[in-house]
Structure formats: structure tokens, C-alpha cells
Structure 1
Amino acid sequence: MKNSAFNKILSYFFRGILFVAPIAFTIMVFQAVFVWLDGLLPFNIPGLGVIILITGIVGIGYLASTYFMKPFIELFDQFINKIPLLSLIYNSIKDLIGAFVGEKRKFNKPVMVQFDTLGKILKPGFITQDDLEKLKLPGHCSVYLPHSYNFSGNILIVSNDLIKPWEINGTTAMKFIVSGGVTGMDEM
């Protein structure tokens, strides 16, 4: 009898942890970002740092999208590309962010890569290049396979006959993959 009550209490405890931990962690991260941003200002008005940051990013985005700024952006990119280590970091971050947002999104072609001859083992991913003939790999494509619960993944060169289209949108596919197959099922 006591063991049964203890197991129920333990079960409730773990359910509580599943509910409270993500909320608490999210609040802690946002609070740390708010405090850090507000600490950058010489005066103490809570939340002003975040408002300034968001306003600044929107303003820079607006300016960057104007015809007038395009030559300056290209000039800046050319300057960065002349500095070896800096260009590697800058372009990698720019490409990664551009893959998720902007006009040139890359993770919009979800696919399943077949890993066995019977087609019973599939790995979800995203086509990043449809045709690799310029790399002397005709009939192949590059597929990015994100890792679950991580900001990393693998790029595979795959024969086109091992690729099966996955008929869902890219955002839903990414949620499904990154969550380890837990999130995104309602949207499919």
C-alpha cells in the first residue's frame, strides 16, 4: 500500500518536472538576456535594452532592404571576405541564419533518406543542393541531416534514387527532427 502511494507521488513529481522545467528554463534564459541587455545601458529602466535592441534590428533590416544600402552591404561583404578567419565565421553564421529566414531559405525541401535496401530505415533531412554535377557527382544531391536536441547535423552526399520526398512543410519537419520526433505531429 505504501509502495503504491509512493509510486503515485513519484509519478506526479515527474509530471510536474516535465511541466515546470521547460517553463522555468525559458524564463531563466529570457531573464538573463533582459538583465544583460539592460546592464549595457548607463541608466536603469527595466526592459529598455530589449526595446532598443528590437527597434535597432528592425531599423537595420529596413535600411538593409533599401536599394540605396545594397552597394554598401556588398562593399562590407567584400571587405570581410578578405580577412581569412573572420570571413569563415561571418559567412558561416550568415549562411546558417539565411537558411532559416530571409529570401533564400534552404530548409524548405524536407526528404527522407533511405538507409537500407528495403526502404525500412529512413532518416529525415533537407535537400540543400538538388544537383551536384558541378562537383562531378551527377545523379547526387546534398542532404542536411539535423541532430535532435542540438544545433548541429551532418551533410551527406546521397544518390537521388535514395531520396524520398517528405510531403510536409519545412518548419514542421524541423520541429519533428530537432525534438527527437516528439513535436510537430499535430501539424502533419
Structure 2
Amino acid sequence: MSFTSKRLLNYFLKGLLFVAPLALTIYIIFLIIQFLDNLLPVPIPGLGILIVFALITFIGYLANIFITRPVFDLVEKWLFKIPLVNILYTSIKDLMSAFVGDKKKFNTPVIVKLSDNMSRLGFITQDDLSVIGEEALVAIYFPHSYNFSGNCFLVPKENVRILKGVNSTDVMKFIVSGGVSELNPPKI
């Protein structure tokens, strides 16, 4: 290979490293917006998504009002009584509230000692397991790399060390990227 062709190949690969993630990100955002916009069959592009956001915001407002809150609690109690719906609804609600609710769960990054020579990054999701008689254990969520799933392990507290000064978002990106993303130094 000549010097010029190596240089061209290098430029192409560097361009690909920039363009491919950007194009995929834009494409995924476009698909999400298109899906939300098409939830309501409105002939004006963009109006459907605005109506959906407004409706969700209004429902959130109603759920916080003292007068209408009992109605939402009653609907939830009714959902909890339906066998399959109960499992799906509570699992989805708990997962969503772990990211956006008042009780965020992925805000305590930890390093867990698995053996003498191996550790793993994760997040404490429950630090008190006395309800199941396991006071010495904590629940740690280990996200999978390049995946939207993970595992929850119950590990001895002495094997868990909370990472101080590390941003939870950076740790999640680091894990999900398979360790490829950079961990930013603590901000002082």
C-alpha cells in the first residue's frame, strides 16, 4: 500500500468514527420522535408529539393534586390485583422510577470485589435487605455492556466500596460501553 492510500484509508476510518455514531444517534432520535408523533393521527407533523407531551404533563399534574391523587392510587391498586398486569406494571414503574423518580436508584456507583484479582462496577439498588433476613448483604445492579439489561446480585457489604467523586452517569456509560468510554476525573 502506498503512503497516499494509507493516509486516505486513515482519513476514511477517522471520518467513519465520527459520522457513524452521529448518524446512528440522529437516526434513533428521529425514530423515537416519529413514533411519538404517530401515536396520535394528527395531519400536522410535530403536533402529535406536542399533544402527547402535553397530555403526559397534564396527567402528571393531576397525579400530584391532593384532590385527584386518590383516583390514581385507586387505579394503581386495581392494576396490582391483575396477575400478569401487576408484574409488568410494577416492574416497568420501578425501573422508570429508578432513573427519573423521587427514589432514583442508580446514583451510588460501587466497585465490588468478586475475587482476589477481579472486581466489577455496579450500582447499589438496596442497601437494607433485613426484610429478607439478610442484613449483611446489599443489592447491586450490574448493567451489561452494549445491552439494555443487567443482573442484580446480593453481595456481602464488605465486598462493596462506594466510589467517591465519580459521576453516576459516567460510570453507567463506562459499563455500557464495555469500558471503552472515558471515566472523567472527579470535579473539585
Q: Normalising by the residue count of structure 1, what TM-score does the alignment of the two structures yield?
A: 0.87
User: Which residues in structure 2 correspond to 1:1-188 (within 5 Å)?
Assistant: 2-117=1-116, 120-167=117-164, 168-183=166-181, 185-186=183-184, 188=186
Flag the 1:122–1:63 CA change in 2: closer, same or farther, 3 A: same
Q: What amino acid maps onto 2:123 in structure 1?
A: F
Give me the whole-angstrom Cα distance separating, in 2, the residues matched to 1:14 and 1:185: 24
Contact map agreement 2:41 2:48 (CA 8 A) in 1:
no
Q: For each residue in 1:86-114, what CA deviation from the matched residue of structure 2 results, as whole angstroms up to 9, or x when unmatched?
A: 11111111000000111111112111100
Q: CA deviation at 1:3?
A: 3.5
Flag the 1:34–1:159 CA change in 2: closer, same or farther, 3 A: closer
Q: CA deviation at 1:42?
A: 4.3
Q: What amino acid maps onto 1:90 in structure 2?
A: Y
Give me the whole-angstrom Cα distance separating, in 1, the residues matched to 2:142 and 2:41: 44
Give me the whole-angstrom Cα distance separating, in 2, the residues matched to 1:170 and 1:186: 11
After TM superposition, the runs of 4+ consecutive aligned structure 1 residues lying more than 6 A away are none
Give me the whole-angstrom Cα distance separating, in 2, the residues matched to 1:132 and 1:19: 45
Q: Normalising by the residue count of structure 2, what TM-score does the alignment of the two structures yield?
A: 0.87
Aligned to 2:8, what secondary structure does the other structure show?
helix
Report the number of matched residues.
185
Q: CA deviation at 1:15?
A: 1.5
Q: For each residue in 1:43-64, what CA deviation from the matched residue of structure 2 results, as whole angstroms up to 9, or x when unmatched?
A: 4222112211222222222221
Q: CA deviation at 1:26?
A: 2.1
Give me the whole-angstrom Cα distance separating, in 2, the residues matched to 1:37 and 1:6: 45
Instruction: Provide the alpha-carbon RMSD of the alignment.
Output: 2.0
5+ unaligned residues in a row in structure 1: which ranges?
Answer: none
Give me the whole-angstrom Cα distance separating, in 2, the residues matched to 1:41 and 1:130: 42
Flag the 1:59–1:187 CA change in 2: closer, same or farther, 3 A: farther
Q: For each residue in 1:68-103, what CA deviation from the matched residue of structure 2 results, as whole angstroms up to 9, or x when unmatched?
A: 222112111111111111111111110000001111
Give me the whole-angstrom Cα distance separating, in 2, the residues matched to 1:36 and 1:132: 40
Give identity over the alignment, percent: 44
